[in-house]
Amino acid sequence: MDINDILSVASRFVISGKPERVERYGSGHINDTYAVTTPRRRYILQRLNTSIFTEPEKLMENMLLVTDWLRERIAARGGDPFRETLTPILTPDGESSVRSEDGSFWRMTAFIEDSFSFDRADDPSVLREAGRGFGRFMRELRDFPAERLHETIPNFHNTPLRLDALRKSVEEDAFGRLDSAKAEAEGYLSRAEAYSKRYEQAVRELPLRVTHNDTKINNILFDSNTHRALAVVDLDTVMPGLSAFDFGDAIRTGAATADEDTRHPETMGASVELFSAYARGYFDGAGHISEGERDALVFGAKLMTYECGARFLTDWLCGDTYFKTSRPMHNLERARAQLALLEDMERRGDELEHAIIEAEKETKL
């Protein structure tokens, strides 16, 4: 899309000054994100991927409900609601989105200045802050009626359905790619029954909460001056879910010894030190969680790694239609890395469980 067209879209929102500059921003896999600059301030403008978010209006309803709620809670504890959560920018008609001439769906938020994020971090103090930030996010939404939220991606963390999709992609092999991925397909499908059963148990027994559902470390902003966790961003998948899902997805990326895009799966594993640091911050931020939720946290880390890896492999076998890729075997390499991480988590499960116990003890002192 031409830069002038993007600037034209930006001018349809109520912003401070005429938009003068636009540049690509961030490293997300799904939406197209731009930083828009006016003489007075900056904004984030996003074109939503409507092949994934098929009902973007419902997504925006969720975002408005959640950010309104968070602003009240943040203000009540003496925080800054304009820095500690997203601020949607509306149109002159009070709408939270616009459609461009080609039918694209756009939304805008205020740019949170003096903040930064990490794509990866190997400093335990950073992981602890990230855990505190995501835990606090869940805590501040504890009393929000989860049933008011739409499912922006139905069955997003429905592991049995994700595995059904993988089985189908293996059976059909529509792009002739299975020969290069037989070991990975066996690795994921051999675990299907065990992980599906434990998933179904968790869904039956654990309380439903408002969850973020994409708790990668680059979805939390840190204050540039204090380096404290500041705001949780990318609220597209905020919907009802389980605390173990959010904890687990954060561990999948935050406590890994290599990036999820690595071409060297032998370097991928779980850092108990980073896991422990995140868990300590998480308990500090989240406050009380149920005994069942606590006992499911390590499983959540394994499950999210397993599920995401299966999704990468499915996308590879189906022609790379979901996740953005930058090289020919990108999704297969991602699937290999996640399988290596899962295997390491399974080997070191007792260490991870002990880290949870110690983290909870520290929080209670």
If you average pLDDT over residues 337-354, what whole number do you get? 98
Is the pLDDT at 30 greater than 90? The verdict is no
Is the pLDDT at 129 greater than 70? The verdict is yes
Q: What long-range pairs does 311-316 form, CB within 8 A, spacing at least 24?
A: 311/162, 312/338, 313/166, 313/169, 313/181, 313/184, 313/185, 313/188, 314/162, 314/165, 314/166, 314/169, 316/177, 316/181
The pLDDT of residue 323 is: 87
Is the pLDDT at 322 greater than 90? The verdict is no
If you average pLDDT over residues 335-339, what whole number do you get? 98
Per-residue pLDDT tens over the stretch 231-268: 999 999 999 999 999 999 999 999 999 999 999 999 99
Q: What percent of the chain has pLDDT over 70?
A: 99
The pLDDT of residue 101 is: 87
Report pTM: 0.92
If you average pLDDT over residues 330-357, what whole number do you get? 97
Query: How many angstroms separate the CA atoms of 289 and 268, rounded?
Result: 30
Domain ranges of the chain: 3-113, 124-364
The pLDDT of residue 77 is: 94
Q: Contact 28/234 with Cβ under 8 angstroms? A: yes
Per CATH, 3-113 and 124-364 having the same topology is answered no
User: Does domain 3-113 sit in CATH 3.20.20.70?
Assistant: no
User: Does domain 124-364 sit in CATH 3.90.1200.10?
Assistant: yes
